[in-house]
Structure 1
Amino acid sequence: MSNESTTAAGMNRAKPYQLVLFPFNNGATNVYYILTITYIAYYGNGVLGLALMFATTMVTVMRLFDAVTDPIIGALIDKTNGRFGKFRPYMVLGNVIMAVSAFLLYFGTRLIPDTMMWLRYTSYVVIYALYVIGYTFQTSCTRSGQTVLTNDPKQRPMFTIFNMVASMLGMGAIQFLAPIFRAKFGDYTTAAFFDMMIPISVIISALLTVLAVIGIWEKDQPKYFGLGSEEKQKIRISEYVAIMKENKPLRRLMVAGAGCKLALAIATNGTVLCMLYGSMMGNYNGLYLPMMIAGYVFSAPFFVLTVRTSQKHGQKASLTRYVGLALVMYVGVFALLLFWKPGVAGVNLSLSSLNIYTVLFVLLFGIGYGAYYATADMPIPMVADCSDYETYRSGNYIPGVMGTLFSLVDKLVSSLSSTVVGIAIAAIGLSTLPGGDTPYMEGMKGIVLVLFCVIPMIAWALTLWAMKGYTLTGERMKEIQAVNAVRKDAIAKGMSTEEALATWKTMDQVPVEFRQE
């Protein structure tokens, strides 16, 4: 294999360090994602004294704000082609905006006296909106930036396994530190908890962003943009509708990605886990971290399996195989929780005195968690496939538009987790979010069954349904990349884009030297 980044056949391959470092952009945004999905409602309700339903539904409401910002920011990325590239400016700017908004939201709002609650509410909303803009800036680059990193079908699945490392250093670090700080400072509703958590989160995210910028630095230049044209894309917002209509694989992937993200967001929601490990099983401090670590341990082999399956059979085959396995395992988890009864030792999860119930729960949960955690971010590299398909279909290189179209639905659906949890908590009569020490009360078992098992299982079923009609298989992507490669070569030699699109459409028209093994 040549050491050159771009081979004679027009294949754009990434260097090993680029494959390793760029996924840290996702790790950087996941730091803020877990703060928002899991802890921001605790801050709003417990520290600022905002109403429970307001604090929990704001996550969803502000995602609706994304309905406006996502397409605008996606178009901005596609029109950008400056001295510092297309993606790096938005990665850095997005992270800076999130850091500033985090300090303003978690520290500045506390300076407002409780006699001026109207100002607390207003400031909370305005600063939250600022955070959303920064988050969209940076997270959009995760999806769109992969198109310049590599178009090799054997390399793209590697994003998933390196993303695991990035998530463990980003989101995983926050999940690991949070219960430790909780035990030290009281609970997730204390100001002292956020005094320690927020600065550490900002630093971790900033460091991961620096690594990601280094990873994409060499590739963030026009010769890796689509068919090689240096002209800035002229995409009008109205054209989003046409893209959604014609790019059927993207529509399917949006449903699948939303299903994967919703399942992950609800099944790992901090409030749900407080009720499961604390209120029901009676030992939050002794179960949360060990079960989280067990989940990561079970995930490791699945990340290897998903990559191998993707390289051999395509990413669609890998996603459906392991989401299906997660669905089967969680049927067993559902059955175990269904048989749980308050105060009955034989049907209680306990790591200090093992029983059949605990062994079965750990195995079923571990295998299920490993399978779905390994596939949770798999739709991200698949967005790059949809973007390459759009280039193949229309000649347009618009990764920003493609990424934000996907993330719009992804974020809207995943953000429903906080609202759903808030409604469920209010339904059993609680006015504050339960913590690790909240005693069991009537109705909690039903809520945990629905949130921890039923909703994720429905989401996985939707993912499997959507993937049935997804046409970008491994073989199909080889054809698309080969056609794009020969078109790019011809355009570089003076042929117009329109003529290139008309001349090469199928693999049998492509010269042998442009075909991928």
Structure 2
Amino acid sequence: MKKEKMSVSKLLGYGLGEVGSQLIWYMVSSYLMLFYTDILTLSAGAIAMIMLVARIWDAVNDPMMGAIADRTRTKWGRFRPYIIFGTPVLALFNLLTFTVFPVHGVVKVALALICYIGAGMAYTAVSTAYASLVNVIAKKSQEKQDLSAARTVGSSVAQLVLAIAAMPLILKLGHSEVATGQGYFRTVLLFSLVAIPCLWLTAFLCKETYGNELHQNHEKKSLKESLINIFRNKQIVLAMLVCFMVTTAIMGRITLLSYYVIYVMGSYTLVGAVMGVMCIGAIVFSMLIPIFTRIMGKRNWLICICSIMSIGMIGTYFADPTNVPVILVLSFMIGVGNSGQGVIFGMFSDCIDYSDYKYGVREEGLSFSFITFAVKLAGALVGAVGVVLLAKFGYVAGVEQTEAAKAGINMVVNIIPAICTIIGLIPLFFYKLSNKKMAEIAQELEKRKIEKE
């Protein structure tokens, strides 16, 4: 069998999109809870309310945005316009989310909610289009997996740089030994300005080569019909369940990890080291995705790396937080599992082809909108529940924590994500889209295309 390869420019261009996305969204996923509690001094109840309202809206907005993208027809294609025109809007709302407005009380909470929802909507538009792009710039299953791996490498590289640079920049640009609102604002502004050209380069280098070809024999469906078709596809439902649970573990832990490092390990400066080592683990194993998914298949490789991640989380819970070398080794193991997102993206691409094969329906935008929703729901759910649990365990912002509070932080950051990861492995044992099956599907779809010509 001829080995499937992608051009370097396309792999680089697609990977750059995730670099841009991470430059913008990293601060939301890693530092927003800390910004809310320590800078805006919002209560746990206010933060939980913000997250709840935003996620209720996302439940409507994300699938709607995916369906709109599927039905878009422009000279730039279906998805690239949202990357081109949506990125500056996303950068703006990201900056507003980390702005300390001179207001208090209910108005402060309302502004935080509006900015967060605005950032989430813009992220949905850009991220759904970016994720969907993989299915119209490549046709073969392994080609799409290679692109998804390039995306994960881009994500991990960006996260590594950000993990090392974010907190030092927040402190330096805020001219303080502790994080300040000014430091957050200036850091987010810098990241956003760099992100915009990265995503624009993706739109320039990744043309929608196969969009018209893949959709030429498909009837237009209503949003209701499209949703019904999505949920009768058992394979994509299984992939959604895996995506949600694994993303809950990964994003939830990243959201709250700063609390563990700052208050349990007792150091602001180690935030970059711990997150950086995790990113190195993700980079190394993201680069191995094309090799091991060819040998073992996507499902089996995902089970392996998620198992390693779970062991790392449980090990961190029981480890001495002052033993930095051990914590860093365990963080590398956790980073290995973070590369699993690239495998999940590849699984979603296979599920879209399977839907075409089984039901004659292709809904790239709608399908990938559920990943976007899962990312935001996971981050918000763990953020909202996490901050409530931290308060219950006695966490008080900006002071030395009690032993009970430290134990609570340790449990929320390590044990709960490990449990989510283990639960997320269960649907994989029912997932049937192996490499062999996808090769059969590709042959059948090509045969149908020839018959219709």
- Secondary structure at 1:376 match in 2: helix
Unaligned 5+ runs, structure 2: none
Q: 1:187 to 1:391 in 2, by over 3 A?
A: farther
Contact 2:11 2:147 in 1 (8 A): yes
Q: Is the 8 A contact 1:13 1:149 kept in 2?
A: no
1:156 to 144, 164, 168: 144
Structure 1 residue 477: deviation in Å? 0.8
> Which of these residues, 190, 193, 197, is aligned with residue 187 of structure 2?
197
Q: Which residue of 2 aligns with 1:455?
A: 416
Answering whether residue 274 of structure 2 is matched by residue 284 of structure 1, we say no
Secondary structure, in 3 states, of the residue corresponding to 1:151?
coil
What amino acid maps onto 2:183 in structure 1? Answer: F
1:27-52: per-residue Cα shift (whole Å, max 9, x none)? 32233332222323344444444434
Check if 1:425 corresponds to 2:420: no
Whether 2:201 is the aligned partner of 1:211: answer yes
1:88 CA drift (Å): 0.6
User: In structure 1, what is the Cα distance between the partners aligned to 2:279 and 2:98?
Assistant: 29
- Deviation for aligned residue 1:241: 4.5
* Structure 1 length-normalised TM: 0.80
CA distance in 1, matches of 2:91, 2:286: 31
Tell whether 2:294 aligns with 1:315.
no
One-letter code of the match for 1:201?
Answer: F
1:59 to 26, 51, 58: 51
Aligned partner (choices 470, 474, 482) of residue 443 of structure 2: 482
Q: Quick one: which amino acid aligns to residue 318 of structure 1?
A: W
How far does residue 131 in structure 1 lie from its aligned partner after superposition? 1.9
RMSD of aligned Cα (Å):
2.7
- 1:442, distance to aligned residue in structure 2 (A): 2.4
Q: Answer yes or no: is the 8 Å Cα contact 1:25–1:138 preserved in 2.
A: no
Return 382-391 or 55-64, whichever deviates more: 55-64
**Alignment-mate amino acid for residue 247 of structure 1:** N
Match of 2:162 in 1: 174
After superposition, the C-alpha distances for 1:268-317 in whole angstroms (9 at most, x for unaligned) are 23x4333x3332233331x2222333233333432233321102232112
Task: Give the superposition deviation at 1:18.
Answer: 1.0
Counterpart residue identity of residue 323, structure 2: L
Alignment counterpart, residue 405 of structure 2, candidates 444, 448, 451: 444
- Shift in Å, 1:169: 4.9
Structure having the higher helix fraction is 2
Cα deviation, residue 440, structure 1: 3.4
Partner of 1:236: 222
Query: Aligned runs of 1:376-395 on 2, under 5 Å?
Result: 376-395=341-360
Q: Does 1:260 align with 2:246?
A: yes
CA contact (8 A) 1:60 1:418 kept: no
Q: How many residues align?
A: 451
Given that 1:26 and 1:166 are in contact with CA atoms closer than 8 Å, whether structure 2 keeps it comes out as yes
Output the amino acid matched with 2:261: Y
2-side partners of 1:308 and 1:149: how far apart?
21
- Which of 1 and 2 has greater Rg? 1
Is the contact made by 1:272 and 1:421 (CA closer than 8 Å) also made in structure 2? no
Q: How does 1:461-472 map to 2 (within 5 A)?
A: 461-472=422-433
Partner in structure 1 of residue 258 of structure 2: 273
Contact residue 308 and residue 334 of structure 2 kept, 8 A: no
Distance of aligned partners of 1:464 and 1:90 in 2 relative to their CA distance in 1, 3 Å threshold: same
Conserved in 1, the CA contact under 8 Å of 2:69 and 2:78? yes
SS at match of 2:74: coil
Q: Distance in 2 between the 1:213 and 1:483 partners?
A: 31
Deviations 1:454-492 (A, max 9, x none): 11211221221010001111111111111111112222x
Sort the Cα spacing of 1:122 and 1:278 in 2 relative to 1 into closer, same or farther, 3 A. Answer: closer
Structure 2: which amino acid aligns with 1:471? Answer: K
Is the CA contact (8 Å cut-off) linking 2:51 and 2:384 kept in structure 1? yes
In the alignment, residue 235 of structure 1 is paired with which amino acid? K
Counterpart contact for 1:93–1:134, Cα < 8 Å:
no
Question: Is residue 348 of structure 1 aligned with residue 322 of structure 2?
Answer: yes
- Tell me the TM-score normalized by structure 2: 0.90
Which residues of structure 1 form unaligned runs of 5+?
A: 3-10, 341-346, 351-357, 494-517
% identical equivalent positions: 18
Aligned to 1:248: 234
Moved more, 259-268 or 289-298: 289-298
Deviation at 1:394, TM superposition (A): 1.7
- Report the CA distance between 1:220 and its aligned residue: 6.6
Contact 2:55/2:380 (CA < 8 Å) preserved in 1?
Answer: yes
Query: 1:14 offset after TM fit, Å?
Result: 4.3
Give the match for residue 404 of structure 1: 369
